[in-house]
Amino acid sequence: MEPQPHTVESYRDAVLRLVNALPPEHIALDQALGRSTAEAVTARLPVPAFDNAAMDGYAVRSHDVANADRDRPATLTRLSYVRAGSSLPQALHAGEARPVMTGAPVPPGADLVIPVESTASGRFDDSATVEVWPSGRANIRRRGEDIAAGALVIPRGATLGPRDLALLAATGHDGVLVHRKARVAIVATGDELSSSLPDGGIPDSNSVYLRAAIASVGADIASTLVARDDVAALREALDTAARDADLIVSTGGVGPGTHDLAGRLAAEAPGGTLATVAMRPGRPQAHATWRGTPWLALPGNPTAAFVSFEAFVRPVLGRLGGGAEHSGTAAETVSVGWESRPGAVRFVPLSVGGDAESVSVSPFGPPSHASHSLSAMFRAPLIAMLGAETADVRPGQLVRVIEPA
Ligand SMILES: Nc1nc2c(c(=O)[nH]1)N[C@H]1C(S)=C(S)[C@@H](COP(=O)(O)OP(=O)(O)OC[C@H]3O[C@@H](n4cnc5c(N)ncnc54)[C@H](O)[C@@H]3O)O[C@H]1N2
Ligand code: MOO
């Protein structure tokens, strides 16, 4: 173990130094949800793409209706219809009204669209003339008035959500340059994972959790391996994992036990460290580069593996994918306080109370046992992340919370 414990921040910086953003690739928008842009994207097409009608109505010249009102409508010659998808109609001449549907190109020369409600009949019909009066609005959406051609649409390093994809499509893109998806190998360690239940064996819940958590941030699973507590077996699993992955995440074997081998192997590997981090749970952590592949060795306790994912794996995956390296946190008000000791960042499962107007949080179950309790840490809707300086938590205090994967 290192003499000086790491803070959560200093350990996160150390593991972030293991990785760089993966190379870019150009992919179809349909494939791009959750990926991060490798370059800033500008509009190929303006929005709107051409001057178009904002209402179903009549395109007219404002001069022709300047003195008209509901009691004295202007009588104009009705032309044929134009609808969304029609090509640009001929220029409008004095005394003419062109029926235009919402989204249709507005004929050159027209500077007003009068909604069909502002006509004498109040509906579209086939008569030769139409009686209209101005509605008070132009009802024309001008080319580029929303987004000009060439304007910045999405900055570099943005993680693409459904609205971003719609913006890209609307501005003339069918694909986007994003960072390649990270491929992650999972290595669960421990003889208990291979033993039979109930004879000393336990279910490998860490692999199930990690597979899902990694998938939930948009990375791919390269492989899932289980290694017994044996140096040769662990080396072999790591060799296999390193062959086809951008990152190896292991769980277990970072404690001081006789069969805790992952931490020792990591400490001996290039750039490797077995560290103590001032956090509960998740205190022992290790990392290294194994045959050229970055490796994060998380503790085996399932709750420790979970908070280690939030604190370290998520940021590393963020950097690999070219996106955000910090997960979002929010501040919530405490309704029922609890006893806490400073000196380490503490992850505390919380219940959420109150209503939509004023949310408040309180401990989820008895706080003293919560950090290793699956029934609390894996069922609580929110997890507080208390700074290492935080002593007792009091009602009315704000606490930082994470919404876990
Ligand atoms: N003498 C000390 N003992 C321990 C210390 C310490 O400082 N001194 N630290 C404790 C802390 S804190 C943690 S965390 C653990 C670290 O343990 P390891 O990373 O070595 O993990 P294991 O010993 O392999 O397993 C711990 C626990 O988790 C269960 N486990 C392991 N893998 C899985 C899996 N894939 N799915 C579900 N559960 C798993 C395992 O059976 C153990 O019960 O060390 C403490 N001890
Ligand atoms: O820190 Mo250990 O990670 O308490 O479970």
- For the chain, the structural domain boundaries read 4-23+180-320, 28-44+148-178, 52-141, 329-402
β 382-386/398-402 pair status = antiparallel
Pocket of ligand 2 (CB under 6 A): 280-283, 299, 301, 304, 372
Range with the poorest average pLDDT among 42-56, 62-76, 367-381: 367-381
Average pLDDT over residues 206-228: 97
Q: Tell me: the pLDDT tens digits for 271-324?
A: 999 999 999 999 999 999 999 999 999 999 999 999 999 999 999 999 999 998
Output the six-digit token pair for 13.
Answer: 């910086």
Please provide residue 63's backbone torsions phi and psi, each rounded to the nearest 5 degrees. -55, -35
CATH 3.40.50.720 fits domain 52-141: no
* Shortest-distance ligand to the CA of residue 202: 1
Its ipTM equals 0.98
Burial class (CB in 10 A: 0-12, 13-18, 19+), 249: buried
pLDDT at 2 over 70: no
- Cα(287) to ligand 2 centroid in Å equals 16
How many Cα atoms are found within 13 Å in the side-chain-facing hemisphere of 101? Answer: 9
Q: Which of 211, 280, 301 to mutate to test the pocket of ligand 1 (most atoms within 8 A of CB)?
A: 301
pLDDT at 354 over 90: no
CATH number for region 28-44+148-178: 3.90.105.10
The CB of 255 under 6 Å from ligand 1? The reply is: yes
Task: Give the contacts of 299 (CB within 8 A, at least 6 positions apart).
Answer: 251, 252, 254, 255, 281, 282, 283, 284, 285, 305, 308
Q: Which of 260, 345, 372, 373 to mutate to test the pocket of ligand 2 (most atoms within 8 A of CB)?
A: 372
- Cα(103) to ligand 2 centroid in Å equals 60
- Is 271 within 8 Å of 208 (Cβ atoms)? no
CATH number for region 329-402: 2.40.340.10
Q: Which atom of ligand 1 lies closest to the CA of 305?
A: 14
* Shortest-distance ligand to the CA of residue 281: 2
pTM of this structure: 0.90
Q: Tell me: the pLDDT tens digits for 104-140?
A: 999 999 999 999 999 999 999 999 999 999 989 999 9
The CB of 301 under 6 Å from ligand 1? The reply is: yes
| Alpha-carbon distances, residue 301 vs 136, 228, 284, 287, 373 (angstroms) | 68, 16, 10, 17, 10
**Going by CA atoms, what residue is nearest to atom 3 of ligand 2?**
282
- Cα(216) to ligand 2 centroid in Å equals 24
The CB of 374 under 6 Å from ligand 1? The reply is: no
**Under CATH, what is the fold of the domain 4-23+180-320?**
Molybdenum Cofactor Biosythetic Enzyme; Chain A (3.40.980)
The CB of 229 under 6 Å from ligand 1? The reply is: no
* Shortest-distance ligand to the CA of residue 311: 2
* Shortest-distance ligand to the CA of residue 371: 2
pLDDT at 4 over 80: no
**Mean pLDDT for the chain?**
95
pLDDT at 240 over 80: yes
